[in-house]
Chains A and B, each alone.
Chain A
Amino acid sequence: MKRDECLRALARHVTDEIVVATYQAAFDWLVIRPHPLNYVSIGAMGIASSHALGLALGRPDKRILVLDGDGSLLMNLGSLVSVVEAAPRNFVHFVCENGTYEANGAHPIPGRNRVSFVGFARAAGYARCHEFTDLAEFETRIAAVLREEGPVFVDLKVEPGKPSPQDYGYIHSAAARSSFKAALRSS
């Protein structure tokens, strides 16, 4: 699956959820679905799902979707355990698995094509795990996946699609944070 096509399919099902996105998935998502409830101020690689857990605990009335990377998740595998321990019912963790540190030179991740991200999630205690390799199947099933009680884990086996601008200036900006905060307060 091309990542941008996959995220476009997801975007068709997103309404008022908070979307926490990191690195290349964030750059794609900002183009595909610009929205004030996009949370892209991750700051340090690996901790997107932890920001999302804080949001999920703080706003149990909102559904939180995480768009993570495989290299990012490898830096914070313990977060899978912490999320299951906290058991947020409003938490869906997508991982865009492309086998590379795409934003840092596209070097391969360790364990590429050997490790199982769904296996990590299951072992951490996630009861609901999904793996998609085919766009048509993803489009068919994503609505039902989004209705499942969290925490939910979804591995998307993707390859880069149409390149999106890497707007680091925006994701690190005070404006991105303040507009998100204002949107969250009024949501």
Chain B
Amino acid sequence: MTMPDEQQLHGASIIAAIKASGIEFVVSVPDITTSEGLLRPIAHDPEFRLIRICKEDEGVAICTGLAFCDRRSLLLIQNTGLMDSINAVRAVAVEYEQPVCMMVGLQGKEPDRKPRDSAKYGVRIVEPILEIMGIDQHLIETDSDIAQIRPAIDAAYARSRPVVLLIGRSPSAP
């Protein structure tokens, strides 16, 4: 059965938007939502340098070090990892005003619900936490949302501020 267009999210289109944003380095702890549609193809894509890390707060610092070198990077993680690295995000990305760009899979979010209406506590607290931290966020749930990626990343680097791109459903594998 084919999904209606308004319910599709193509991994290849997200990857194309990441490339168009000038991202060279993808720093990641695997996330089941984005595993097949994003991380696995990125791992085989010679246009990216994939940095595999053990814990998400490492990635916040690695992306910051790269930004000081004028190199663009994307931290690809899960909402659980975002929660685990909140202190690093708070200190380095927010208080130090660094362009840490995070793409965060919302593990277990129901496709027919908004994140803050999810039955899963770990999902529905994400947007309010980012709001209270003052971090720009964008929900990428269908192909029509992908156009937000490049402007969001460009704005993060232009303003030297963090941004979170929430992936609301599993992108299809290319």
Dominant SS among interface residues on chain B = helix
Q: Which residues of A contact B69 (CB under 8 A)?
A: 54-55, 57-59, 184
Query: Is A90 at the interface (CB under 8 A from chain B)?
Result: no
Please list the residues of chain A having a beta carbon within 8 angstroms of any beta carbon in chain B: 39, 41-44, 46-48, 50-59, 76, 78-79, 81-82, 85-86, 172, 174, 177, 180-181, 184-185
Q: Would you give 17 A-B contacts (Cβ < 8 Å), ordered by A?
A: A43-B91, A43-B95, A44-B87, A44-B92, A47-B60, A50-B62, A50-B65, A51-B64, A54-B65, A54-B66, A54-B68, A58-B70, A78-B58, A81-B54, A82-B52, A82-B53, A184-B69
Query: Is B57 at the interface (CB under 8 A from chain A)?
Result: yes
Given A44-B92, A54-B62: A86 and B51 interface contact (C-beta under 8 Å): yes
Q: Which residues of B contact A177 (CB under 8 A)?
A: 96
Given A47-B88, A78-B53, A78-B54: A41 and B65 interface contact (C-beta under 8 Å): no
Dominant SS among interface residues on chain A = helix
The reply to whether B68 and A180 contact each other, CB–CB distance below 8 Å, is yes
Given A82-B53, A177-B96: A53 and B62 interface contact (C-beta under 8 Å): yes
Q: Closest CB of chain B to A71's CB: distance in Å? A: 15
The reply to whether A76 and B55 contact each other, CB–CB distance below 8 Å, is yes
Instruction: Give Cα distance in the complex from A41 to B52, angstroms.
Output: 23
Instruction: Give Cα distance in the complex from A39 to B96, angstroms.
Output: 13
The reply to whether B58 and A79 contact each other, CB–CB distance below 8 Å, is yes
Given A44-B88, A51-B62: A78 and B68 interface contact (C-beta under 8 Å): no
Query: Is B157 at the interface (CB under 8 A from chain A)?
Result: no
Known: A58-B68, A184-B69. 7 other contacts (CB 8 A): A39-B68, A44-B91, A51-B62, A54-B62, A56-B65, A76-B57, A181-B68
Q: Give the A-B contact count at a CB cut-off of 8 A.
A: 103
Query: Is B36 at the interface (CB under 8 A from chain A)?
Result: no
Query: Is B48 at the interface (CB under 8 A from chain A)?
Result: no
The reply to whether A43 and B65 contact each other, CB–CB distance below 8 Å, is no
- Tally chain B residues at the interface, Cβ within 8 Å: 31
The reply to whether B57 and A50 contact each other, CB–CB distance below 8 Å, is yes
Query: Is B159 at the interface (CB under 8 A from chain A)?
Result: no
Query: Is B42 at the interface (CB under 8 A from chain A)?
Result: no
Q: Closest CB of chain A to B159's CB: distance in Å? A: 14
Query: Is B110 at the interface (CB under 8 A from chain A)?
Result: no
Q: Which residues of B contact A47 (CB under 8 A)?
A: 57-58, 60-61, 88, 92
Q: Which residues of B contact A52 (CB under 8 A)?
A: 65
Closest to A47 in B: B61
The reply to whether B58 and A82 contact each other, CB–CB distance below 8 Å, is yes
Q: Closest CB of chain B to A57's CB: distance in Å? A: 6
Q: Which residues of A contact B70 (CB under 8 A)?
A: 58, 185
The reply to whether B71 and A51 contact each other, CB–CB distance below 8 Å, is no
Query: Is B63 at the interface (CB under 8 A from chain A)?
Result: yes
Instruction: Give Cα distance in the complex from A54 to B54, angstroms.
Output: 15
The reply to whether A55 and B65 contact each other, CB–CB distance below 8 Å, is yes
Q: Which residues of A contact B87 (CB under 8 A)?
A: 44
Closest to A177 in B: B96
